[in-house]
Structure 1
Amino acid sequence: MTMEATSSSKDPVTFPCPGCGGPMHFDSEAQAMKCQFCGREETIAASDEQAIEYDLELDEEADPKRTDWGIRQQAVKCQNCGGESLIPLLQTATLCAFCGSPKVLLQDDSADTIRPETMIPFQISKDEAVASFRAWKKKRWFVPNAFKKGQIDSSLAGIYIPYWTFDSDTYSHYSAERGDYHYRTETRTRTVNGKTETYTETVRYTVWRHVSGDYGRSFDDVLIPASGQYDGELLRKLGNFRLDKLTGYLPEYLSGFIAERYSVNRNEGWIRARGQMNDTLHHEIRREIGGDEIRGLSVGTKYFNRTYKHILLPIWNANYSYKNKPYRYMVNGQTGLVSGHVPRSAVKIALFTLCCIAVAVPVIWWILQNE
């Protein structure tokens, strides 16, 4: 089914239940809409919308269809961390979904925000996300035992994080000097106990030669976070999303969750994607050149057939405190992988350091005695 989004001045219901009129939210376990009052479930008809790769050179953002989310939304901005999210119109936000701060302000409708055409709906429930975190923290090193075994109260928010994906064909011309190791035996002399003696030694030397060539490469779905609330390393640790499971966007999937408004625009996203492509090209061209050493590598690359998509990916974001210090963790809403920050035990770190020293000192002493 495709439910019609509605709202009234008294009730922030987005998708009313056909049975009791209560709010229906997307349920990750049932993969259907579920009434928060009577528990009635309604299936969601699969979207027939196909992923479209938009030409990076063109400005399709002017198309009003690309800003129609199918549900009236309002922007919320946190005065504490600066995070911007989208929530259903008339819904009141009391806490920031990113940092947990109560300093949030409602802004104007986000009519100019590009909506995604594809997304991955939540597959992991809130309870499953909490269980994943509990199992994850028990495996952390150098954390206090009380933290490992204790119950941690955290505020979880289901957030759809915006991403860009970029495709491009590339043509590169490169030049460099390739160095190959060769070996020869040389006769040398040395003085031992006042006597001169000769000995032979194998000596390595490098033969350099100029190389150049062409290299072609196509890139598909280079994934770039469009979020301004998380560093790339934290998101990277969540693991790779299975983009083959992308489905057409439907507003029903957002019911009960929050969609972050992208703060990394399309052009900034392309610059970051191009940097990743450049790194990959340099690595592969070095492997193509071969040799034992490479110096003076110069690569000139042309990018063409550049396209992009805007997608939403599911993440459970949690803020918690331990001994009055704030921490954060995230759970991949598709796979259940966890990434986050944990408190450290100074005692465990000190004991580990002392153990390393205790092992290293005898080894170093033995090496010195046997030189």
Structure 2
Amino acid sequence: MAMDTQAIAAVGFPCTACGGPTRFDADSRQLKCDYCGTDQVIANKGGAPKEHALPDGPEDDEEAVSTDWGVAQQAIQCEQCGGRSLIPAAQTATTCAFCGSPKVLVQSGARGIRPESLIPFHISLSGAADRFIAWKRKRWFVPNAFKKGDINAKLTGIYIPYWTFDANTSSSYSAEVGVYHYRTVTKTRTVNGKTETYTDRERYTVWHSTSGYYDRSFDDVLIPASGQYDTVLLERLGNFDLQQLISYKPEYLSGFIAERYSLSRSDGWKQARERMSETLTKEIRSEIGGDEIRSLRIATDYDDRTYKHLLLPVWNASYNYKAKPYRYMVNGQTGLVSGRVPRSALKITLFVLACVAIVLAALLLYVSYDGSTPS
């Protein structure tokens, strides 16, 4: 499988042996020289990732947050897909890392909040390619030529921005709870022209009011701050182990691209709050119990709100199959693959026909068996 790494030359991290450029190597977790192959340890004594208090007002304090990425950066934006990223100032980008478009424009203006922490790449370029090959061979309903053939994909290492949010919640709730009860009733029916009585078990619901309080803490609710991927694709990729977060250092970005966040911190909090609210509703309904719940009302206070801005490693690839574009991503920490693949209309049709045949066969067997049963 042909690959285009779109790698950025290292800036400011010369090799201690020969002075050549170095880039971060996912296999050794160190800087590796492009010329002599010497490895350099990245000294990182930054401690645990920092949590920042989430302000109540608008984002007027972002100037107080660090925007120094450690190396001179320039913002670029793709004309085709609108993707925005940050690359070293000396780098000239000719192809978009997101969609493969050859037109990328240098942007002026703010660089954005620098992340406090990141997870460096654990999966190498070749490792990501191998993961995709194994993944596509296990897909259902894809053309055999695609499953077994080589795919000419442009594979790029990107640090995708995320927000994480923490909060302590205190909720008060009220609702009506329905509990099922059963009673035996006498009914009549007509069988072969004759009326007969029989007993049946009938269900009815007894309702009562309830109320209470529910406390719950949320830690590291992860919200993608990227605007280049649909939510489903990123959710499938999101099995990151945030316990491996380390303090940001620009050396980890050497050889990769860092995407600039397009979802603001306040919008990220709105999404996190919606997730928290959904979780609270589910858990409170479970707390209430009963067989049915109606008129549920929940009022929640969110206290001790904090956030982190971080970068997570992803290998991104775009490819064409029979003139149609597709995309896949590989989690740069765990190797999990998420993507879209071409489908075989013939395989899908044959599968549907096989399912219909099985249903018809089962139906015929049931009718045959039922017809042979004595009345």
TM-score where L is the length of structure 1: 0.93
Measured in 2, the distance between the counterparts of 1:270 and 1:160 equals: 21
Tell me which amino acid in the other structure corresponds to 2:44.
A
Q: Deviations over 1:228-280 (max 9, x none)?
A: 01112101111421000000100000000000000000000000000000000
Deviation at 1:107, TM superposition (A): 1.3
Structure 2: stretches of 5+ with no match in the other structure:
1-8
Deviation at 1:284, TM superposition (A): 0.1
Contact 1:12/1:89, CA 8 A, preserved across alignment: no
Q: Specify the alignment match of 1:62 in structure 2.
A: 63
Bigger shift: 73-82 or 101-110?
101-110
1:15 maps to which of 13, 16, 30 = 13
Q: Specify the alignment match of 1:8 in structure 2.
A: none
Tell me which amino acid in the other structure corresponds to 1:62.
E
Bigger shift: 197-206 or 273-282?
197-206
Q: Specify the alignment match of 1:72 in structure 2.
A: 72
Deviation at 1:288, TM superposition (A): 0.2
Indicate the SS of the match to 1:172.
Answer: strand
Q: Specify the alignment match of 1:149 in structure 2.
A: 148
Percent of pairs with identical residues: 62
Bigger shift: 282-291 or 35-44?
35-44
Deviation at 1:176, TM superposition (A): 1.0
Residues 206 and 287 (structure 1), Cα distance of their counterparts in 2 relative to 1, 3 Å cut = same
Measured in 2, the distance between the counterparts of 1:138 and 1:302 equals: 48
Residues 210 and 295 (structure 1), Cα distance of their counterparts in 2 relative to 1, 3 Å cut = same
Q: Specify the alignment match of 2:344 in structure 1.
A: 345
Q: Specify the alignment match of 2:119 in structure 1.
A: 120
Q: Specify the alignment match of 2:272 in structure 1.
A: 273
Contact 2:123/2:334, CA 8 A, preserved across alignment: yes
Q: Specify the alignment match of 1:182 in structure 2.
A: 181
Contact 2:178/2:205, CA 8 A, preserved across alignment: yes
Deviation at 1:44, TM superposition (A): 0.7
Contact 2:26/2:122, CA 8 A, preserved across alignment: yes
Measured in 1, the distance between the counterparts of 2:78 and 2:24 equals: 25
Q: Specify the alignment match of 1:103 in structure 2.
A: 103
Contact 2:11/2:254, CA 8 A, preserved across alignment: no
Q: Specify the alignment match of 2:289 in structure 1.
A: 290
Tell me which amino acid in the other structure corresponds to 1:125.
S
Q: Specify the alignment match of 1:209 in structure 2.
A: 208
Contact 1:138/1:149, CA 8 A, preserved across alignment: yes
Deviation at 1:104, TM superposition (A): 0.7
Q: Specify the alignment match of 2:299 in structure 1.
A: 300
Bigger shift: 17-26 or 300-309?
17-26
Bigger shift: 155-164 or 360-369?
360-369
Indicate the SS of the match to 1:131.
Answer: helix
Bigger shift: 220-229 or 192-201?
192-201
Q: Deviations over 1:90-121 (max 9, x none)?
A: 2010110000001210112644x111111000
2:45 maps to which of 35, 44, 47 = 47
Q: Specify the alignment match of 1:172 in structure 2.
A: 171
Deviation at 1:50, TM superposition (A): 3.6
Indicate the SS of the match to 1:67.
Answer: coil
Contact 1:54/1:60, CA 8 A, preserved across alignment: no
Contact 2:10/2:255, CA 8 A, preserved across alignment: no
Contact 2:239/2:334, CA 8 A, preserved across alignment: no
Q: Deviations over 1:137-190 (max 9, x none)?
A: 010000011111111111111000000000011111111111111111111011
Deviation at 1:293, TM superposition (A): 1.1
Measured in 1, the distance between the counterparts of 2:176 and 2:14 equals: 68
Q: Specify the alignment match of 2:89 in structure 1.
A: 89
Deviation at 1:365, TM superposition (A): 4.2
Measured in 1, the distance between the counterparts of 2:226 and 2:165 equals: 16
Measured in 1, the distance between the counterparts of 2:55 and 2:364 equals: 65
Deviation at 1:60, TM superposition (A): 4.3
Q: Specify the alignment match of 1:232 in structure 2.
A: 231
Residues 13 and 250 (structure 1), Cα distance of their counterparts in 2 relative to 1, 3 Å cut = closer
Indicate the SS of the match to 2:237.
Answer: coil
Measured in 2, the distance between the counterparts of 1:62 and 1:50 equals: 23
Tell me which amino acid in the other structure corresponds to 2:173.
Y
Contact 1:27/1:34, CA 8 A, preserved across alignment: yes
Measured in 2, the distance between the counterparts of 1:228 and 1:184 equals: 57
Measured in 2, the distance between the counterparts of 1:68 and 1:201 equals: 75
Tell me which amino acid in the other structure corresponds to 1:323.
K
Deviation at 1:55, TM superposition (A): 1.0
Measured in 2, the distance between the counterparts of 1:275 and 1:368 equals: 51
1:26 aligns with 2:24: yes
Measured in 1, the distance between the counterparts of 2:276 and 2:11 equals: 44
Deviation at 1:191, TM superposition (A): 1.2
Deviation at 1:221, TM superposition (A): 0.5
Deviation at 1:49, TM superposition (A): 4.6
Q: Specify the alignment match of 1:243 in structure 2.
A: 242
Deviation at 1:12, TM superposition (A): 7.2
Measured in 1, the distance between the counterparts of 2:190 and 2:46 equals: 85
Contact 2:10/2:22, CA 8 A, preserved across alignment: no
Structure 1: stretches of 5+ with no match in the other structure:
1-10
Measured in 1, the distance between the counterparts of 2:205 and 2:366 equals: 31
Contact 2:71/2:250, CA 8 A, preserved across alignment: yes
Deviation at 1:62, TM superposition (A): 2.1
